[in-house]
Amino acid sequence: MNDDMVSARLDLQTRLGHIFTDPRPFEDALTHASTGKDVNYERLEFLGDRVLGLAMAHLLYTTFPDEPEGGLAQRFAALVSGETLAGIAREIGVPDCIDVSAAEKSAGGTERDHILADVMEALIGAMYLDGGFAPAEALVRKLWAGRLHTLKQPPREPKTALQEWAQARGLDLPVYDIIEKTGPDHAPEFLIEVRIDGYSPVRARAGSRRLAEKEAARLCLEQVEHDR
C-alpha cells in the first residue's frame, strides 16, 4: 500500500467519524476480489446491507411519522440504491482507498457504481463489527442527512413506474431480457433490453442485472413520455 492510499484511508476514517479499534474489518471492506487476497469486502457487504437496511428503516420511520408504508418503502428503495450509495462513497473519498488489481484499476474499477456501492455497504458492516449498531446508525444519519428531504414526494422506482404506465394504457407488462453478460465473475456487466408493445426496445448496461433493468426502465420511461 503506497503512502497516498495510507493517507487517504486515514482521512476516510475521519470522515466516517470512527477510528477503528481493530483495523482488519476496515481494511477488508476496502479490498476488492481482484487482488487475490484471502479476504475481501464481499462478506462485509452482505452484513452492511442488512445494517444499512435497519438503520435506514428506523431513520425514515422517525423522520416521516405521517408517511404511509408504501411511501416509506419508495423512499427506502431510493435511499439505499446503488446510485445513492456510490454517490455517497465518492463524496467521502472511497475511490482513493480501494485496493484493486492493476488490471481492475486501469479498467476504472474504483469508479464503477456497483463496486463503490458494495464497498460503502462493507464499510457500514465493518463499523458494526468494530463498534456495534450505534456508530453504524450514526454514520447513516450523518451521511444521508442531506438526502432525506431532497424529495417532496416519495420517488417512483423506474420499473414500477413503467409497469404502471403500461397498465394505465391497457398494454402488456414490460418484458426484460438479458442481451449480453460480460466481464469476470467478480465484476460482471449486464446489457438488458426492455420491450413494450408498440414502442422501440430500449437497452441499458450496468454492473448487475437489477441495476441494468432499472436503468433500462428509466430510459424507456423517458422515451415513451417524450413520444406522447
2-18 confidence digits (pLDDT tens): 788 889 999 999 999 99
If one looks up domain 158-226 in CATH, what number appears? 3.30.160.20
Domain ranges of the chain: 3-148, 158-226
Cβ-count burial 115-154 (b if 16+ within 10 Å, e if not): bbbbbbbbbbbbbbbbbeeebbbbbbbebbeeeeeeeeeb
Residues annotated catalytic, as ranges = 49, 121
Question: Residue 76: how many CB atoms within 10 A of its CB?
Answer: 17
Residue 227 has pLDDT above 90, yes or no: no
| CATH topology match: 3-148 vs 158-226 | no
Residue type, 52: L
Strand order of the β-sheet with 175-182 is: 175-182, 189-195, 202-206
Stretch 205-219: mean pLDDT: 89
Domain 3-148 has CATH 1.10.1520.10: yes
Per-residue confidence at 153, pLDDT binned at 50, 70, 90? Answer: low
